[in-house]
Amino acid sequence: MTSNARVDIGPFKAMAPEVYDALAALSQSAVTLGLEKDLLELVKVRASQMNGCTYCLQFHINLARQLGVPAAKLDQLAAWRESQVYSPRERIALHATEALTSIAGGEIPDEEFDDMEDEFGERGLAGLIAAVGVINVWNRIGITYRFNAPAAK
């Protein structure tokens, strides 16, 4: 398989500004609903790892670094369950990310949903679900069009 971009992010934005703007607005809604930007970047990096989207993975690692996310949290994200560097809130968010990213054939059990809602509240949980959904959409767009990954920062 070739790794040449079919369409890169800039031309994609010009080609489908309605899609780009709608996804950007949905992504911003999680912040508006009170979720922390650094937490959201961990969520986006984890989903991008799971989906194998090189563009989104590097893009959100860069953003996480700019926000001051500790290197250990980025370095250990693929093994977050075994790591001691994540807060209980981050663990719930990462668990939700994995559950929602690989939701095919299953559902979120009531106990897990209750834990998520207890931690994030009704509105915050809606924002978290939206954030996971939108990064999964971006992953699918980035993988399909083979967006070139940005430079590491």
**pLDDT single digits (tens) 120-138:** 999 999 999 999 999 999 9
Summarize pLDDT for 20-33 with one digit per residue, the tens: 999 999 999 999 99
Burial (CB < 10 A; 0-12, 13-18, 19+), residue 114, is exposed
d(CA 3, CA 55): 11
Other beta carbons within 10 angstroms of residue 8's beta carbon come to: 15
The number of C-alpha atoms within 13 Å of 83 and in the hemisphere containing its C-beta is: 17
Q: Which amino acid does the sequence have at 9? A: I
Domains of the chain from N-terminus onward: 17-74+84-145 (1.20.1290.10)
Cβ atoms 97, 46 nearer than 8 A: yes
Summarize pLDDT for 77-110 with one digit per residue, the tens: 999 999 999 999 999 999 999 999 999 878 899 9
Return the structure tokens found at 143: 């993988």
CB burial readout 119-137, b (16+ within 10 A) else e:
bbeeebbebbbbbbbbbbe
Summarize pLDDT for 5-14 with one digit per residue, the tens: 898 999 999 9
d(CA 13, CA 35): 26
Give pLDDT, residue 96. 97
Q: What angle do CA 93, 24, 90 make, to 5 degrees?
A: 10
